[in-house]
Structure 1
Amino acid sequence: MAFDAQQIGGVEKSQLSGGLGSMSSVPSHLYSADYIAQLPKPTGGKQWKCLSEALYFEARGETIKGQIAVAEVIMNRVDSASYPDSVCGVIHQGTGRKFACQFTYTCDGRAEVIHEADAYEQVGKIARLLLDGVPRKLTKGATHYHTTSVSPSWARKFPKTTKIGSHVFYKQPTVVSSN
């Protein structure tokens, strides 16, 4: 199912590239809890489930904007040649290797149990929107993020794109080849 421009207030289909562009192509109500709440109960296959679970365990305490921003990072990685080409592949990259996982919840040693059904439904709706092609504008192409409570060494080498809620977002550094 492709993203329906009518769902977010009439954004032209030509504006729904899924990637970067101007913020003006994304209606502000997309980021409102009221808008997300009125969306139908989300469903999907394996990729939807992986994205929903990642959002639940990584960002359920964030605002709608913060949850969408984390989803953008995952989808930006899917689109990057530097990462696996599926949502599940991105999320589980490095899982099982100490300090090598990309998303903390996949290697923190805790059982991943969903206790908050309402929170899971909300992130499921956000996952559905992102998988269906809602424009990704919040993080300006970020492929990395961390919480404000940590200062990972890699963050000094990555250009910061924005801060939303308790997460700071970064782009992969541009590598210039010399001939």
Structure 2
Amino acid sequence: MTRQERRKRRRQRRRMQAALLASLLFTLVLIVTLRIRETAPEPVAERTSALAAERQTLTYIAPARPEAAEETPEELTVEPEPENRYAELHFSDEDVYILACLVYHEARGESFEGQVAVVEVVLNRMLSDYFPDTVEEVVFQKYGDVWQFSPAPYLYSAEPDKEQYLAVHTAIEGREHILSEDTVYFSTAPYNESVDMIIGNHYFCKIF
């Protein structure tokens, strides 16, 4: 084979290689282009119309609400705070001392409630039209020769302590009263048939 023929063959081989390379490059570019188109986002207009179509096909379902109770709750009523029954009465330090002495003699061995109730009897008498209207006159009142409260003649021999004084102040200042307003008697036996309460050894009775 001559030199000229060998050169000719080399040129043909190069041309074939170049054509093959160009074909491969074209195929690669085509594949890449197709991939890009597949992954590219939709145009805004197309996406908007697609979302609108989806919205038209959706049905709104409102969240379920709990069924209303068959019975409506009763209206809340605020009860007025009870008033102090003895708010209009006035008490001096001497009055408080007399009451503490009376509780000492009459009920120092009773419960605290029983001691307060003894004071309430005196205060109820002060409110009643059938008895005097001061502590001193009620405690030292007589029916003939009979004292209404048996310790009255030796009342000031008492030595009341803080419990008796607390019972007095609780009765005077409290809003929760133990006895009815018309309970004006107490003793170790029923004074009449209108017994309001029995506290310890004492029967507390109403006036009628």
TM-score between both structures, scaled by the size of structure 1: 0.60
Out of 118, 129, 133, the residue aligned to residue 170 of structure 2 is 129
Displaced runs of 4 or more, over 6 A:
none
In the comparison of the two structures, how many residue pairs are matched? Answer: 124
- Asked whether 1:47 is paired with 2:47, we answer no
Does 1 or 2 have the higher relative contact order (CA < 8 Å, sep 6+)? 1
Corresponding letter in the other structure for 1:98: D
Q: How does 1:15-164 map to 2 (within 5 A)?
A: 15-18=82-85, 45-94=93-142, 98-99=145-146, 101-107=147-153, 112-115=156-159, 120-132=161-173, 134-135=174-175, 137-141=177-181, 142-148=183-189, 155-156=191-192, 158-164=193-199
Q: CA deviation at 1:120?
A: 2.2
CA distance in 1, matches of 2:206, 2:95: 23
Assess if the C-alpha contact under 8 Å between 1:18 and 1:136 holds in 2: no
CA distance in 2, matches of 1:135, 1:53: 23
Assess if the C-alpha contact under 8 Å between 1:105 and 1:112 holds in 2: no
CA distance in 2, matches of 1:129, 1:160: 23
CA distance in 2, matches of 1:146, 1:123: 18
Secondary structure of residue in 2 paired with 1:143: strand
Aligned-pair identity in percent equals 24
The CA RMSD over aligned residues, in Å, is: 2.5
CA distance in 1, matches of 2:140, 2:195: 24
Q: CA deviation at 1:15?
A: 1.2
Q: In structure 2, do the counterparts of structure 1 residues 136 and 94 end up closer, same or farther at CA, with 3 Å as the change threshold?
A: farther
C-alpha distance after superposition, 1:117-149 (max 9, x if no partner): xx52211111122233x135322231001114x
Assess if the C-alpha contact under 8 Å between 1:59 and 1:70 holds in 2: yes
Q: In structure 2, do the counterparts of structure 1 residues 47 and 112 end up closer, same or farther at CA, with 3 Å as the change threshold?
A: closer
TM-score between both structures, scaled by the size of structure 2: 0.53
Q: Any unmatched runs of 5+ in structure 2?
A: 1-78, 87-91
Which of 1 and 2 has greater Rg? 2
Q: In structure 2, do the counterparts of structure 1 residues 13 and 78 end up closer, same or farther at CA, with 3 Å as the change threshold?
A: farther
Q: CA deviation at 1:89?
A: 1.2
Q: Any unmatched runs of 5+ in structure 1?
A: 1-11, 20-43, 174-179
User: Counterpart in 2 of 1:177?
Assistant: none
